[in-house]
Structures are given as structure tokens and as C-alpha cells.
């Protein structure tokens, strides 16, 4: 059987995106505008009214629009978040005339959003790499003709010709040809598996030494590889128990910050000190750090060749106790005899 290798048009070998290309241009412009407004107000540009400078108001409206939208969504779902806690500090600082402080807090929140998006984007790269592993085009045999079609147009029952060194794009059964296949990404088996007519093969495997024809049975999301990609996608969007705990802790931290701010104002009668308590006690580290850590862990595991089905395993494991099946060392009956011990007596043969 003579075949030619199908062109594998994948994105696996594209150069890695730079940090600059990952940043949303709209977020960058918004952050730069608010930063410029903060510098202008700090330098004395407070026209037309020193108490309510137009530059500061414009900067807050532009910068706080996405923050307010997310905060409102959190209020409707009755949950505390970094955006909600920081919006409280921004509004409070503006209410007492601390416009520079309010703008600087807005810049910090917008910069934190950019950093969070970068971290989330790096985590999603693992999923993108998984999706890009399969070829975009496949060779299909129709009688004596072999044509190349997009993988998305392939249908169950068609004969797919897989050349040596290319990836098997579908789950199916080998109809003709013999080869070996690297199925480690699917089964975890490091040794190549021999495949012959009648053998079952899986999408995501790599055909090695010979061309084979495979009758397509499961394609795309229905294939073994497609289910793995979907499992990783669900794992990245799932909420582990530790994140629910972090959300509760973040809410309590904000409530404590508000109580502390109220106590500070009652003691000092100083609005600046009061707002400082709200700003310093923001729950951004707890609210945003936990999902980023979980996503980064799932991405790192996916790049290593293992897959996580959901976020439930991300919690401390209970302490294990030794059992008889995990004893260290052999039992007394399994230990070799000591070289200084006398051998057991041998009874003489009986006639």
C-alpha cells in the first residue's frame, strides 16, 4: 500500500506568543489613561473645580466601568470579590476628595486584572496545545482514489489513510496495513502497541513504521482524545472546594475590613486613615489567587501528559496510617538466614 503523508496543518509549531501580544489593547489603553489622569491631578490639574476635577472624574468613569460591571455581577450572585472590595475603596476615597488615591487604586485594580488575564491565558495554553495536536487535514480513501479533506468534514465509516510518522485523527478499527502506534497520550502505556487489521486505534496516537487504513468510528469530540480535551476544559472551569473556602474567607475579610474602618473612624475621626484600612485589607489575594493557582496546576499537569477531570482533588489528602500491606521491609519469615546462624539439622536417610 503506497500512500503519501498528509500535510498536518497544526499550530503546534507556531512560535510562543509574547507577553505583549497577550495583553488586551483595550485594557492597556484604559489603564494608561487612568494613570495619566492620576499624574495630571497630582500635578495640580484640577480644573474647573478643585473639589471635583473633571480629569479625575473622567478617569474614574473610564477606569471603573469594567470594575463596576464585575462588582455588580458579584452583588447579584451574593459573593465577595476583589472588584467589589476595591470598588468600595475607590468610591470611598473619591467621596472624601482623595482623587489621586482613588485613581491610583483604580490603576492597581486594572493592572491586577491584566496580570490575572495573562495568568489565565497561560493556563489555557495547555488546552490549546491539546486541541492543536490532531491534524487539521486527513487522507481519505474512496475506491482507488485518496483525497485530502479537512478533519471537520470527516464522517463515521470513511476509510482514513494514516501514513508513517503521522497522528491518528480518529478512533476506529484498522482495516489494512500493519504498524506500531505510540498510544501513551491516551492509554499511558509507554511501549508502542502493535496494530494490524482488526486492531482498535485511538485519536491522538502516533503511527510509527507503516501505513494503515482506519475505518473512522468516533470523530472529534466523540473520540477518546476529544473526551480528554473536554475533561481538561471542564476541569479548568470547575470550582474546587478550596476555592469555595477562599471565597468565604475573602467575604469575611472584607466584612472585617469594613468593621475595622468603622472603628478607625470612630477613634480617629480621620477619613484618610479610615479609607486606608479598607484599601490595605482588600481581599484580592485570596479571591483571585486561588483560581489562578488551580488553573496553573491543571495546565502544568496537562503539559506533563496527565489530565485532571475536575477540581475536587485540589485539597489536602487525609493522613495515611501504615497497614500490613505497606510494611517496610520483609516479614521475619521472608528474611534471609543470618550467616552466623547454624543450618537446620538434616535427618539421615531411612532405608
Task: Identify the CATH class of 137-220.
Answer: mainly beta
- In angstroms, rounded to a whole number, what is the distance separating the alpha carbons of residues 108 and 41? 17
| SS3 at position 269 | coil
Note the pLDDT of residue 330: 41
Which pLDDT does position 29 carry in this prediction? 92
Strand intervals (E) in the chain = 137-142, 145-150, 159-162, 171-176, 179-182, 193-195, 200-201, 206-207, 212-218
- Residue 263: the pLDDT is 93
pLDDT at 96: 82
Please, which residues bridge with residue 174 across strands? 214
Q: What is the pLDDT of residue 46?
A: 81
pLDDT for position 212 = 92
pLDDT at 204: 84
239 pLDDT above the threshold of 80: no
Edge-to-edge strands, sheet with 179-182? 193-195, 179-182, 206-207
Is it the case that residue 291 has pLDDT exceeding 80?
no
pTM of the model: 0.56
Chain segment 171-198, per-residue pLDDT in tens: 999 999 999 998 887 777 788 899 999 9
Question: How many residues in total does the chain contain?
Answer: 351
Note the pLDDT tens digit of each residue in 121-168.
766 666 666 667 778 888 898 888 888 888 888 888 899 999 998 889
Residue 222 has pLDDT above 90, yes or no: no
pLDDT band for 299, please (50, 70, 90 cuts): low
pLDDT of 281 strictly over 90: no
Domain range list for the chain: 19-130+232-303, 137-220
For the cut 70, the answer to whether the pLDDT of residue 3 exceeds it is no
Is it true that the peptide bond before 48 is cis, omega within 30 degrees of 0?
Answer: yes
Rg of the chain (C-alpha set): 32
Amino acid at each position: 500500500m503506497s500512500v503519501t503523508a498528509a500535510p498536518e496543518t497544526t499550530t503546534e509549531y507556531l512560535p510562543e506568543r509574547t507577553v505583549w501580544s497577550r495583553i488586551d489593547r483595550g485594557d492597556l489603553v484604559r489603564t494608561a489613561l487612568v494613570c495619566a489622569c492620576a499624574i495630571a491631578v497630582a500635578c495640580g490639574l484640577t480644573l474647573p473645580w478643585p473639589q471635583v476635577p473633571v480629569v479625575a472624574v473622567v478617569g474614574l468613569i473610564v477606569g471603573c466601568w469594567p470594575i463596576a460591571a464585575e462588582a455588580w455581577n458579584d452583588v447579584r450572585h451574593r459573593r465577595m470579590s476583589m472588584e467589589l472590595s476595591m470598588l468600595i475603596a475607590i468610591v470611598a476615597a473619591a467621596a472624601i476628595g482623595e482623587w489621586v488615591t482613588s485613581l491610583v487604586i483604580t490603576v492597581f485594580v486594572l493592572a491586577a486584572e491584566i496580570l490575572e488575564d495573562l495568568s489565565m491565558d497561560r493556563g489555557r495554553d495547555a488546552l490549546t496545545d491539546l486541541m492543536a495536536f490532531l491534524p487539521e487535514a486527513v487522507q481519505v480513501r474512496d475506491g482507488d482514489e485518496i483525497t485530502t479533506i479537512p478533519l471537520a468534514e470527516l464522517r463515521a465509516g470513511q476509510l482514513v489513510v494514516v501514513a508513517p510518522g503521522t497522528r491518528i485523527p480518529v478512533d476506529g478499527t484498522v482495516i489494512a496495513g500493519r504498524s506500531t502506534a505510540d498510544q501513551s497520550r491516551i492509554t499511558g502505556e509507554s511501549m508502542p502497541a502493535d496494530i494490524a487489521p482488526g486492531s482498535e486505534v485511538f485519536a491522538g496516537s502516533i503511527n510509527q513504521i507503516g501505513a494503515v487504513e482506519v475505518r473512522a468510528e468516533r470523530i472529534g469530540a466523540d473520540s477518546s482524545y476529544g473526551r480528554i480535551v473536554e475533561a481538561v476544559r471542564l476541569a479548568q472551569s470547575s470550582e474546587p472546594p478550596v476555592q469555595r473556602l477562599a471565597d468565604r474567607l475573602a467575604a469575611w475579610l472584607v466584612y472585617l475590613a469594613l468593621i475595622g474602618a468603622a472603628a478607625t473612624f470612630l477613634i480617629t475621626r480621620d477619613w484618610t486613615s479610615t479609607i486606608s484600612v479598607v484599601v490595605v485589607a482588600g481581599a484580592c489575594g485570596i479571591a483571585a489567587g486561588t483560581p489562578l493557582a488551580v488553573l496553573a496546576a491543571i495546565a502544568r499537569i496537562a503539559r506533563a501528559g496527565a489530565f485532571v477531570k475536575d477540581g475536587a482533588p485540589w485539597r489536602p489528602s487525609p493522613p495515611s496510617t501504615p497497614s500490613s500491606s505497606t510494611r517496610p521491609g520483609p516479614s521475619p519469615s521472608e528474611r534471609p538466614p543470618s550467616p552466623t546462624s547454624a543450618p537446620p539439622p538434616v535427618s539421615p536417610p531411612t532405608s
